[in-house]
Amino acid sequence: MRLDLTVEGKNLVVKFNGELDHHTAQQIREKIDEEYRRQKLQNIILDLKGLNFMDSSGIGLIMGRYKICLNNNGKLALIHVNSRLEKILKVSGIFKIVKKYDSLSEACHIF
């Protein structure tokens, strides 16, 4: 799993490349949280375009980042959610609290 972290204003943009499971989630979580704190950011945008596989570990990872943003008066957004990811995320009911957008600019717009 390769992770690209970029900062856009108060937003942390996280690009995933690879497979997200229990094995890869731990490391990813640490990298995201460290960057978010170190740069004193507010919102997180998860770009799922390059995510080839995700199991329920991904649901845990998204929920965890959602809580961190919430505690910091920030928001979490998902972009590029394909039909596979949509299927597993729907099961979890996560779309009740986390919104998905078609593009980065759309997601940034709402913050």
Provide the binding-site residues for other proteins, judged by CB under 8 A.
1, 19, 21-27, 29, 53-57, 59-61, 63-64, 84, 88, 91-92
Query: Residue 32 has which token pair?
Result: 């995201």
β-pair type (11-20, 76-79):
unpaired
Closest CB to other proteins among residues 55, 106? 55
Closest CB to other proteins among residues 29, 72? 29
What is the number of other CB atoms lying within 10 angstroms of the CB of residue 13? 20
Q: How far apart are CA 47 and CA 33, in angstroms?
A: 16
Q: Kindly state the smallest distance separating residue 3's Cβ from other proteins, in Å.
A: 11
Contact 38, 72 (CB under 8 A): no
Q: Kindly state the smallest distance separating residue 7's Cβ from other proteins, in Å.
A: 23
Q: Kindly state the smallest distance separating residue 5's Cβ from other proteins, in Å.
A: 17
